Structure formats: structure tokens, C-alpha cells
Amino acid sequence: MKIHSLVLIAATCALAAPPQQFKLNLDSIASKASNAVDLSLTGPTLKFAAKFLDASDPDEAGIKKLIDGLDGIYVKHFEFKRKNMWTQADLEPIRNQLRGPDWQRIVGVSSEDGETGEIYLRVQDGKNTGVAILEAEEDEVTVINIVGTINLDQLAELGGHFDIPKLKMPKDKTGK
Amino acid sequence: MDDLEQQLRRAFQPEEPPADLTERILERTRSRRVAPRWMAAAASVLIAVSAGYGYRWHQGQTAKRELLMAFRITSTKLNHIQMQVVR
């Protein structure tokens, strides 16, 4: 009976655990946004959606191949009617989580007009197990978490879809 | 006129129904019920299966739309960061 209870508690904890690799806590700016996109695609949802992708469409066929090793994609994207309705401090709670030992920042850029872009890799046992992307413009903020085994070549391949030029990424420490 | 009156009287004269009328009607109703029962059941199953398939298809299309949107946003943002790096 006790074992059953423990199994039940463990299962409940597993269900309650957030599927993302970090909390996408952007409530402070969500209320100010005029347009918001919040996508939470868990592993089963990705697999289910993959069944409906058209193999004859090059974009969709490419995506089908890409999501094979993924356990989730989480996107939060906010657009604002006016500029400067958010501050970099709003993104600090997310950056703080990405300063943990598992995360490596591989790209970090900022421009004079306040635009910033950051790409982080989660490396566990020498393997890339996730990607975090933070991109912020004067009137837009986007945070993305791709969960699963994805190497930089695959990440670069994302840029080859939807008529967007292909991205050439630097090699990471694991040589992938 | 009398002739017409007589004809009408004959026409409207109450007539006793045959003794087996009730039984015949019930028998017909019983024999007709057999087909509609299985047909109704089959139709119900067909509707349920179609509705289930339709719902699953709708869910799949929604998931696909969300997946494509997630990739589109990711691609756009990666490209934007790359352009910033190049600049």
C-alpha cells in the first residue's frame, strides 16, 4: 500500500513538474502587450502534430525531421503598441535562470537602439539537451525554449525554413 | 337528388372494422421496427466515429498550425540575431 502511495506521489510530482527547462515568467510585461503569442508544445503534442505535416512540402518535411529528437517547444512572444513599454529588467528573472551551470551562452548581441539577442545551450553530460533564445526589440519581446536533443547544425537548419535565409552558427564546445 | 342522398348515406354508413385489424396493424409495426433498429444503431456508430475522426483531425490541424507558428517565430528570431551578429 505504501509503495502504491509513493508511486502515486512520484507520478503526481512528475505531472506537476514544468515541462520547460526554465520558467518563462513574463507576467510583468504580458499585461502591457497589445499582441501575445503563447505556445506550449509538449513532446506528445509535437509527435501528434508531426502526423499532420505534409511530407511533400519541403518546409514541413524538414520540420518533421527536426522535431524527431525534441521533447517540447515553448514560445512566448509579445508585441507592444508603443516603444519602451518594457525594460531589460523584465527579462532578468529569465536570465538569472540561464546563469545556472547547465547553460552556456553562445551568442549575445545588443545594438545601440536597444535590441538584444541571446542564444543559450543547455549541456548535460556533454550533450545539448536544450536551447533558449531571448530576443528583444523596442516593441517586441520573444523568449523560446526548445527542449530535447538538438545540435547546432539542426538549430541552424531552422533558419532554412519559411523563406528565411539559412543561419550559420558557430561550433559549440562539444564539437556539434 | 334522392339518389345522391342515398349514395352519400351509403358512403358515410359506419362500418365495423375487420376483427383482425388490430393484430394486422401491430404485426406490420413489429416487422417494420426490425430494420430501423439496426439502422439507427449503425447510423449512431457512424456518426460517433465520424465525429471522433473529425475532432481528432481538427486537433491535429490546430497542433500543426501551432507547430508551424513556433518554428516561424524561432526562425525569424534566429535570423534576426544572426543579422545583428553580422552587423
* Chain A, chain B: beta-carbon pairs less than 8 Å apart: 100
Q: Which amino acid is at B76?
A: T
The separation between the first and the last C-alpha atoms of chain B, rounded to the nearest angstrom, is 113
Question: Over the stretch A14-49, which tens digit does the pLDDT of each residue have?
Answer: 445 457 888 888 888 898 899 999 999 999 999 999
- Cα distance between residue A133 and residue A72, in whole Å: 14
> pLDDT band at B35, cuts 50/70/90?
low
> pLDDT band at A126, cuts 50/70/90?
confident
What's the average model confidence in pLDDT over A4-19? 52
Interface touch A155/B78, C-beta < 8 Å: yes
- Cα distance between residue A147 and residue A128, in whole Å: 10
Interface touch B60/A67, C-beta < 8 Å: no
- Cα distance between residue A54 and residue A15, in whole Å: 32
CA proximity to A154, closest of A144, A164, A134, A169: A169
Which three cell numbers mark A128?
545539448
Q: Is there a contact between A149 and A128 (Cβ–Cβ < 8 Å)?
A: yes
B73 interaction partners in chain A (CB closer than 8 Å): 37, 39, 75, 77, 142, 144
pLDDT of A160 reads 56
CB atoms within 10 A of CB A144: 22
Please state the length of chain A: 176
The reply to whether B55 touches chain A by the CB within 8 Å rule is no
Chain B: closest CA distance from residue A143 (Å): 9
Which three cell numbers mark B22?
388490430
Q: How far is CA A104 from CA A75, A141, B71, in A?
A: 20, 21, 22
- Cα distance between residue A63 and residue B72, in whole Å: 11
Using the predicted structure, report yes or no on whether residue B75 has a pLDDT greater than 60. Answer: yes
Question: Over the stretch A143-175, which tens digit does the pLDDT of each residue have?
Answer: 999 999 876 666 666 665 555 555 555 554 444
pLDDT of A27 reads 87
What's the average model confidence in pLDDT over B38-45? 88
Residues of chain A with pLDDT > 90, as a percent, come to 42
The reply to whether A105 touches chain B by the CB within 8 Å rule is no
Interface touch A48/B77, C-beta < 8 Å: no
A39 interaction partners in chain B (CB closer than 8 Å): 66, 69-70, 73
pLDDT of A159 reads 60
Which three cell numbers mark A18?
514544468
Q: Which residues pair with A122 in a beta bridge?
A: A103, A130
The reply to whether B64 touches chain A by the CB within 8 Å rule is yes
Question: Over the stretch B7-23, which tens digit does the pLDDT of each residue have?
Answer: 888 888 888 888 888 88
Distinct helix (H) and strand (E) counts, chain B: 2, 0
pLDDT of B49 reads 93
- Cα distance between residue B86 and residue B83, in whole Å: 5
A51 interaction partners in chain B (CB closer than 8 Å): 60
| Mean pLDDT for all residues in chain B | 85
For residues A126 and A95, the model is more confident at: A95
Question: Over the stretch A48-87, which tens digit does the pLDDT of each residue have?
Answer: 999 999 989 887 888 888 888 899 999 999 999 998 889 8
